[in-house]
Amino acid sequence: MKIAVAKGDGIGPEIMDAVLSIFEANKVPLEYDVVEMGKWVFDKGFSNGMTPEAQQTIETLGILFKGPMETPKGKGVKSVNVTARKTWNTYANKRVFQTLHGVDTVFSKAGIPIDVTIVRENIEDTYGGIEHMLTHDVALSRRFITRPGSMQVIRYAFEMAKKKGARRITCGHKANIMKITDGLFLECFYEVAKEFPELKADDVIVDDLCMKLVTRPDLFDVVVLTNLQGDIVSDLCAGLVGGLGFAPSANIGDHICIFEAVHGTAPDIAGKNIANPTALLLSGLSMLRHLGFMENAAVIENALLYTLESGVHTGDFGDKSKPSVNTTEFAKAIIANFGKTPEHGAKQIFPNKPVTPTQYELEENPLIMSKEASGESIVGVDFFVEFAGQPNDVADKCLKVIGDKFKLITISNRGTQVWPKGSVFTNVVNQYRCRVESVNDAPIEQAAVAELYMKFQAEFKVCSLELLNMWDGKKAYSLAQGQ
């Protein structure tokens, strides 16, 4: 079976070579097609951090095993790591955090075992990177949460939890504040939960989740979150088990999957052969299991766990009274321990059942869409306008142009209502949201909105606008603070 390999930047090539040497010694039946990705590819003029040949190879083989990669700073280019995940719709980022004996942490010293799996939505949220300056003082980032995207990652999380025999699955969210976006994600969670009655499904507000994770991480099993919150919480969990050097990562999609180390490129130690390859090895083991090489994965992981228990360590962790080993020596120690069983966390050995990745030849972009609710209508519009003045002055200008078909409902600034009621203690910036709705909530046509826009732009610089939609009589937009 052939897979694509991108060695990465900084310490990437040396830790990748170490991991592949372990695979080779264990006779893992894989061939590797090394592709060009990373900072040095950016420097050659490829704005997405990969050559066209690399993209074609990965899309043909369906599996990418990659080392850490750096994105050039200050050049206006996007992260190659995020670009790869989004381009190939690897919608679920799975990261398993377990106590590793030989890696001392506060929890290992207290005898509290950790086995937490974080599933992070990988495509949407603020990671769309869609940002604009609305005025010279006001920046806007658009946050997309979609029903189909949420269903993809949540269904994966439930199916994975059932397969691993999890006792509990938790949705981390901020739906108490972001009632529509996180509210949609939470709604999808409980919709899927109905199909898995054998799992205890619950939800926790993300700030409370973080507090509970650093006090009682043993209470959690599988946690699914939106993209940004999942990014933060997964790094928090890495800190619970020893750091990013022990945090594997799998990015799962329907057509392509990426297995990678999520730590940095550590350019300060690159080329010195002293980097810790554990995170990349654990990611590789996740890849082997994904491909059905269960026996190889178990033998290698047991050897890794035995090696850690024996006190063998690279310079970034372990008993400082014992001399550290370099990257190559660490890999050789693992190889020497093939067939040995660790005292803690030994993996049961099952026979290999290789699953060849399906090779797809897509002719068009897959469209993912849920069934639309009936009774859609537009009942108003939010105009985001630039204005360096007081709320009453904004209101006077709005009332001057809206006519008798519309009514001015509220004016807010940074999300807080400042008209028709508010407080003079509310600081305002030079950008307001003016909410205009139709009289008697009657449906309106987009042409009427366009006509109203022309009137608004005569009085203001209109930075942006959003339609106010309703489905089945339910408002599909939020209220201002204090409205």
Angle at 50 between CA 60 and CA 40, to 5 degrees: 145
- Is there a contact between 133 and 174 (Cβ–Cβ < 8 Å)? no
Query: Where do you find CATH 3.40.718.10 in the chain?
Result: 1-90+260-371, 92-252
What is the pLDDT at residue 74? 61
Chain segment 117-142, per-residue pLDDT in tens: 999 999 999 988 899 999 999 999 99
Q: Where does 342-460 show beta strands of DSSP type E?
A: 377-386, 406-413, 416-419, 431-438
Fold observed for domain 377-475: Alpha-Beta Plaits (3.30.70)
H-type alpha helices, 26-133 = 39-43, 52-61, 80-87, 106-109
Class of domain 1-90+260-371: alpha beta
What is the pLDDT at residue 255? 92
Work out the number of other CB atoms within 10 angstroms of the CB of residue 462. 17
What is the pLDDT at residue 236? 96
DSSP single-letter state for residue 459:
H
Kindly give the parts of the chain with pLDDT less than 50: none
Q: Is the pTM of this model over 0.85?
A: yes
CATH 3.40.50.1000, applies to 92-252: no
Which positions ≥6 away from 157 have C-beta within 8 Å? Answer: 92, 119, 169, 222, 224
What is the pLDDT at residue 78? 75
What is the pLDDT at residue 79? 82
Which positions ≥6 away from 381 have C-beta within 8 Å? Answer: 435, 436, 449, 452, 465, 466, 467, 468
DSSP single-letter state for residue 246:
G
Distance CA 21, CA 13 (A): 12
Work out the number of other CB atoms within 10 angstroms of the CB of residue 374. 7
What is the pLDDT at residue 75? 60
Give the residues across from 433 on adjacent strands.
Answer: 384, 412
DSSP state letters, 275-303: ---HHHHHHHHHHHHHTT-HHHHHHHHHH
